[in-house]
Amino acid sequence: MDTFFKFIGLIIIFGTQSTVSKHVSGTINEKQQNFVFLSRFVFQPNEYGELVFNFHYPLSECCYQFLIFNDDVTQWPFIRKHEDTLTCLEKQGLLDGSFRNTVNLSQPTNCKINSDNEQELFCFGQHTFEHSDERWWYLTIANCKANGILNLHYNINMTNGHRLIDRHFSADERHILETNVVFLGLYCVILFSLCRFKSVMHQRRLLHASYQVFCWSCYIQTLSIFLQAVALIEYATNGIGLPNLEMIGEILSSCSSITFVLLLILVAKGYTVTRARLRPVTSLKICILMTCYCITYSSLYVYREIKFDPRDVISKYASVAGYGLIILQFIGMLWMYYAGFFTIKKNANKINFYLIFLAVFTFWFLAVPITVWMSNSLIAKLKRTKIINGVEHATLLYGHFIFLSLTRPSADNTYFPFYLKSNKVDIVTTHKNATECDIFSSVIICDNPMTKDDNISMPLPSSPLEDESPEAIVESTAVE
C-alpha cells in the first residue's frame, strides 16, 4: 500500500509541471519567419467573449500586426492550404475590414514606449467577441515589412462569459470538467460497492484472480478521472491548468481499458469460472493481443505529441493507430465469441451467465469503433472534444457497471459465475499431475496427458455462498 501511495505522489509531482494553454505567453525570436501562429479559441455564442493582450518588442522593429483570423474557408483554412505560397501581406489581406481583426501594434494607437526600457514598445489592449455562432478564432503575429523579423514577448488571456467554473474554457471544451466530476462521483459509488462485494467474496473464499483484474481496472479508471478533474479544476482557475497531469490521466484511462479487455478474454475462456488455469499456448496468444493493444494505445499518444499541430483541429483517432485500434477491438470481440462458444459447449450449466456476458459486452467492444467513426466523420469539430470525452468515460463505466452487476455475490443472483472456493483452485492447480482442470463444472476433471485415465471427480457446492471448512476442502481434493 505504501508503494501505491508513493506512485500516486510521483504522478502528481510530475503532472504539476504545467505548460501554457488558453492563457498563453512566451517569447518569439524568428529570423526566418515574419508570420507566426500563437493560439486558437472558440468564443461562446451570445456571451461576452474577451481577449486581453500585451506585447513587448524592440522599438526599432516597429511596427508589428496582431492578426485574428476565423475559420471561414476564405481565411484560416485558405492560409493553411496555401501557406507555402502566400506572402505575409497576402495573408494579412485576407482579413475583411468588417471583422475588425487587424490590430496595428504601433504608437499611439495601442503601444507606448516602455518606461523601463526606452528602446522597447509596450503594446496592450483588449478585443471583444459577441456573435451568434460558434467558430474558431486563430491568433497570429506578423511583421509584413520587407525583411521583417519577429522578436517579441507576448501574454494573451482569452475568456468566455463571467462564470468562474468555465470562463477560461474554449466553447468546444466547455462542460468537460462537469462531465468528469459526474463520472468521478459514479465511480466512487462503484468502488464503494466493489469494496463490499470483495469483502463478502473474500470471506466466502470466492475472490478469484479474474475478479482482482476487474478491481484493478476500476481502480485505475477512478484514478484517471480524478487526475483529469484536478487538472481541469486548475485550468478553470487560471486558464493554464496541468497539461502533463491531464495526459497522465488519459494514459491511465487507456490502461484501464486494456486491463478490462484482458478480463473479458479471460472470463470468456472460462478462467476461474470453468477452469483453474489456461494452456501455455492460450496464455501466449493473450500476451500477444495485450501487447498489440499497449503498442496501439501508445502510438495514439506518441502520434499526438509528434504530429499534432495546434493550427489544425484534428481528432487523436485520425491516425493509423486509431484505425489499428478498431481492428484490435474486432479481433478481441471475435475472440470473446470463439472462447465463449466453446466454454458454453463444455459447460452448459453456465449458459445463463455467458449468454448475458456475450450480449452486453458485444456492445462494449463496438463502442470504441463507433467512437472513432464518430470522431473522424460524424461529430462537428467544434463539439468533438467534449462529446468524445463523455463517450469514452461512459463506455468504460458501462462495462464496469455491467460486470459488477453480473458478479455481485448475492444469493438471488443466478448469473453469479464463481462457485468454487478460491482455495480449491490453489489446491487443484498445484497438484503435480494436473495440467488443465475444468474445476467449476459439475465435476472436477484434471487431465494429465501421460495418464488420462487417472481423473478426479468431485461435486461442487450447490450455492455460491455455501461455506465449507478448510479441512473438508483439503480432504475432498486430496489425490492419491
Name every residue whose Cβ is closer than 8 Å to that of residue 91 and which is 6 or more positions away in sequence.
35, 67, 79, 83, 142
Q: Kindly report the CA angle at 425 between 423 and 431, in degrees rounded to 5? A: 105
Q: Quickly name the fold that domain 175-406 has.
A: Rhopdopsin 7-helix transmembrane proteins (1.20.1070)
Per-residue confidence (pLDDT) for residue 371, from 0 to 100: 82
Q: What pLDDT, in 10s, does the model give residues 200-229?
A: 888 888 788 888 999 999 999 999 999 999
Going by CATH, does the domain composed of 23-160 fall within 2.40.170?
no
Residue 126 phi/psi, 5-degree rounding, is -145, 160
Q: What pLDDT, in 10s, does the model give residues 9-55?
A: 434 433 433 333 477 888 888 777 888 898 888 887 777 888 888 88
Q: What pLDDT, in 10s, does the model give residues 246-259?
A: 889 989 998 999 99
The answer to whether residues 59 and 152 touch, using CB atoms and an 8 Å cutoff, is no
Q: What pLDDT, in 10s, does the model give residues 124-180?
A: 888 887 777 778 888 999 888 867 788 889 998 888 877 777 788 888 888 889 999
Per-residue confidence (pLDDT) for residue 44, from 0 to 100: 79
| Confidence class for position 446, pLDDT limits 50, 70, 90 | very low
Domain ranges (residues) in the chain: 23-160, 175-406, 422-476
Q: What pLDDT, in 10s, does the model give residues 393-425?
A: 999 999 999 999 988 888 777 778 776 665 555
Neighbours of 115 (CB within 10 A): 8
The answer to whether residues 105 and 57 touch, using CB atoms and an 8 Å cutoff, is yes
CA–CA distance, 184 with 170 (Å, rounded to integer): 22
DSSP annotation string for 192-239: HHHHHHHHHHHHTT---HHHHHHHHHHHHHHHHHHHHHHHHHHHHHHS
Locus of grid cell 484493478? 216
